Structure 1
Amino acid sequence: MIDQRINDSLKELEQGLKNIDSARKQVERTINSYDGLHNSTSEYVTQLRNLTTKVKELVAAIGTDYNQKVAAFEKDRKSVIDSANSASQKLSEATDSFRNSLNKVESRLNYSLAINFVLAIILGVVIIYTAK
């Protein structure tokens, strides 16, 4: 009977050891799965970090390009406005000069008309006196 108890105890011990070994293997699989998940997650986080860095670089490049384009546009806009103002000023000056020229021509024409009128009167008087 003692032998039977010893055999039963040994069977129970063997069964317990098998259960412990099974549990140990389950723990190892869990740890290996965790390590694999941890490695995959770490790689994913690294890729996200790299992507975030690239997006920040892209945003910075776009911002720089935008600022350069705005500065160039403002420079061109100022140049166009200055040119338009200069052309407007020159047109105004040319118009004033043309008006002054027309006024001078008008004055000369009025003077010529007055002289021609006086000459016509003198010529008429001369013709009338020479006809008598």
Structure 2
Amino acid sequence: KLLNTIFEEVAKRLNRPLTANSLLKNNGCLETVRELLDLKINWPFRRRSSSGLTNYFFEDQLYSRPPVNYERIGEAVSRHNTMLQELESYFNSANELHTAEDLIDGLINKLVAQVDRLKVED
């Protein structure tokens, strides 16, 4: 779910479908995808009671990740809610939430720029 959500966001920002070929053409794209996936391992906002890196990949809602508690920090649901939930996020403050959103946006924007650059070079 995390990877699909990331790629959907990239395609939305590109305003066109994202293809495997557009990622595989450039080592920079692959490196940025790796950085995005690395968030799963090194996410600084993971809740302490997280089940860890295990992944129940069926979409039957039996083992859904717990929702992010935005109300506790006085914030509305994040534009990156699905990703933050998949990363099992817990925030102590609105500033932590904004830092997390900026981190995700920065990596997604980096990938968008790399893929877009490839289109220009084609």
Relative to its length, the structure with more helix (as a share) is 1
TM-score range, shorter chain: under 0.3
Query: Which structure exhibits the higher relative contact order, with contacts defined as CA atoms closer than 8 Å and separated by 6 or more residues?
Result: 2
Q: TM-score, normalised by structure 1?
A: 0.23
Q: TM-score, normalised by structure 2?
A: 0.25
